[in-house]
Amino acid sequence: MAAHGTKICRRMRQHIFTKLPPIAGDLANRYVKTAECSSFEQTNHELQNIYNPLRIENLNLCADSMCNDQLTRQPTMYLAKTLVIKAA
In tens, the pLDDT along 33-61 reads: 888 888 888 899 999 998 888 877 655 44
Query: What counts of helices (H) and strands (E) characterise the chain?
Result: 4, 0
CA of 52: how far to CAs of 3, 8, 23, 49, 57, in Å? 24, 17, 14, 6, 11
H/E element, 26: helix 24-37
In tens, the pLDDT along 4-21 reads: 678 888 899 999 888 888
User: What pTM did the predictor assign?
Assistant: 0.58
